[in-house]
Amino acid sequence: MVGVGEQLRLMTVHAHPDDESSKGAATCARYVAEGVEVMVVTCTGGEAGSILNPAMDRPEVVADMVGVRRAEMARAAEILGVEHRWLGFVDSGLPEGDPKPPLPEGCFALEPLEVPTEALVRVMREFRPHVVVTYDENGGYPHPDHIRCHEVSIAAWEACGDPDRFPEAGEPWQPLKLYYSHGFSRARVVAFHEALLAAGQESPYAEWLENWDTSSRPDPGTRVTTRVRCAEYFPVRDRALLAHATQIDPNGRWFQTPMELQQRVWPTEDYELARSLVGDPAQTESSEDGDLFAGVRERVLTP
């Protein structure tokens, strides 16, 4: 638990509303329960998102996707117990086709890097996180906004503590650790697939595994340094996911693996330590029972 009079702070940076609930939500809920202050930053409004839940494909929803997605995000933040900030950039959409169409003018992925970097630095200097979580250089998957989110997060991490960078964006503040979240490792999918088959149940992962291209998409699970045990908060994660009703189909693959099996087979959310200014990472990180604040607690909470 956080020491008396102290406050550890965690910031997670995401591309779209709903990303915070599908990537690291149980970790956030665990730290909130332990007294950590958690802020989710969403770079875009998700304006270009499709309606992925047939029950929400209604004219009034389509006509107000911006408002609907903002309300969904507010509900998810309430469920997780986190603070939330919008950076205010425009969803780039996921280009499809061959050849792929150009990205729309004015979208997040085409903004000059300095613009969203300053916006994130401003929020970082205000919130003063000790730990920041974002995506790796592949964005978790190759959506242009996810890749841009990585680039902006790294640029903001590097600029936040420099008094010569963005002097109008607040007093400098240096976060101590930065992680990449890795939620879709092949090992995790295989573990669920095999556990379902062993239980005599149909697996929704068979086709996914058959089409997994290891040559173009290396398994991010091989990069994990830190596994945060948070299985008891998986139900909170799922409630936050379902708050994004336009994006999450309650009958979809997300919910076809029984909760008990998830908690038993893979009770962690997984991260890669990408930057650290505290101690020796080999000493502070534990793959099987990790803490994103390892090394930070001693620095912040010790008198």
pLDDT of residue 207: 87
- Cα(55)–Cα(246) distance, integer angstroms: 8
pTM: 0.94
- Mean pLDDT across 219-230: 92
pLDDT one-digit tens code per residue, 56-106 = 999 898 889 899 999 999 999 999 999 999 999 999 998 887 788 899 999
Residue stretches of the annotated binding site for Zn(2+): 16, 19, 146
CA distance 87 to 152: 11
How, if at all, do strands 268-276 and 177-181 pair? Answer: antiparallel
Nearest Cα residue to 261 out of 234, 291, 292, 222 = 234
163-167, 214-218, 223-227, 263-267 — which is least confidently predicted? 214-218
Find the helix or strand (DSSP H, E) in which 19 lies.
helix 19-22
Compute the distance between CA of residue 150 and CA of residue 152 in angstroms, rounded to an integer.
Answer: 6
What's CA 283's distance to the chain center, in Å?
Answer: 25
**CATH dotted code for 9-185+220-260+267-301:** 3.40.50.10320
Mean pLDDT (whole number) for 10-22: 97
| Residue numbering of the annotated binding site | 16, 19, 146
Q: Is the peptide bond before 99 cis (omega within 30 degrees of 0)?
A: yes
- Residue 216's pLDDT band, with cuts at 50, 70 and 90, is low
Task: Using pLDDT thresholds of 50, 70 and 90, give the confidence band for residue 210.
Answer: confident
Q: What is the mean pLDDT of the chain?
A: 92
Q: Which of 163-172, 189-198, 210-219, 236-245 has the lowest mean pLDDT?
A: 210-219
Closest CA to 228 of 192, 272, 188, 283: 272
Summarised one tens digit per residue, pLDDT across range 282-291 is 677 777 779 9
Q: How far apart are CA 132 and CA 293, in angstroms?
A: 10
Q: Walk across the sheet containing 268-276 and list its strands.
A: 83-89, 37-44, 9-14, 131-134, 177-181, 268-276, 226-229
Give the model's pLDDT for residue 253: 79
- Chain-centroid distance of CA 121 in Å reads 18
Higher pLDDT, 131 or 100: 131
pLDDT at 4: 43
| pLDDT classification of 139: cutoffs 50, 70, 90 | confident
Give me the mean pLDDT over the 99-121 stretch: 95
Domain regions of the chain by residue span: 9-185+220-260+267-301
Evaluated on CA atoms 32, 228, 119, 52, the torsion sign reads negative
**pLDDT at 42 > cutoff 60:** yes
DSSP-derived 3-state class of residue 13: strand
**What is the pLDDT averaged over residues 168-185?**
95
Q: Which residue has the tokens 């962690």?
A: 268
